[in-house]
Amino acid sequence: MNDASRLDKRFAALKAENRPALVTYITAGDPGFETSLDILKGLPAAGADVIELGMPFSDPMADGPAIQKAALRALQSGQTQAQTLELVRAFRREDTQTPLVLMGYYNPIYRYDVERFLDDAVRAGVDGLIVVDLPPEHDDELCLPAAQHGIDFIRLATPTTDAKRLPRVLGNASGFVYCVSVTGVTGGRAPTSQHVERTVGQLREHTHLPIAVGFGIRNTEQAATLGRFSDAVVVGSALVECVERAATPHDAIAAVHGLTRELAEGMRRAR
């Protein structure tokens, strides 16, 4: 079985249930390896349908303050690219069903060595990649090699991606399409549902892939509203802030899982 098929199976199952997916983002190694692993392991039981695991990087240019600080906490705790893959391996020892996508920037992958990274990612149990600073003009760098390894390459469609460029952006995409709901960085202003609904409708004219909406979604009400017309809703900064605010590792784990349960309930009410 191709591990990347976890995404296809999960979205097909949720379509049959007529509900959108909850996609949760956390940063690998934040605030430390063991706490991060405990958070990761508990996300599916709390209601996460797909997990995005951030690869810490020192210059996360598409991310807002919350995820920037999370990356810094992880790096200061000693998190490396190899340890991020070890988190995935440890997660897979207990969970072979939940799709897991690595999200981040090309530099850590390039420094690790692309071919070695893809080989190790497959063995660890990674299903997909979101690499925000590699446009389709550089598909030969990572997107196409990832596909050859059976790893989905998820593309971002932003509010500035016009109809002329969309076919190029989506040409080699797989897994799902990440619809950026607002112009700006992660954790910014809340999206306007009417605008996002129009954007999702336009995207559906160009792809048959599931469409996940993210950026600026912070609570159950927002998630449920956007889930009415999308295939998935992505929540990241709000979860990462739970870690930032926590007084102890136990508090961080409880807060992330608690918010995930609330968001999952919103997904069940979305349709």
Would you please indicate which residues are annotated as catalytic (active-site) residues? 52, 63
Residue 54 CA: distances (Å) to CA of 70, 73, 214, 239: 9, 12, 14, 12
E strands within the chain? 21-27, 50-54, 100-104, 128-131, 152-153, 155-157, 177-180, 211-214, 232-235
Tokens representing 267 are 């997904």
Tokens representing 67 are 């995820």
Q: Are 268 and 59 a contacting pair, CB within 8 Å?
A: no
In one-letter notation, the amino acid at residue 176 is F
CB atoms within 10 A of CB 65: 15
- 107/59 Cα distance (integer angstroms): 10
Radius of gyration of the chain (CA): 17
- 240/255 Cα distance (integer angstroms): 10
Q: Are 50 and 101 a contacting pair, CB within 8 Å?
A: yes
- 56/60 Cα distance (integer angstroms): 8
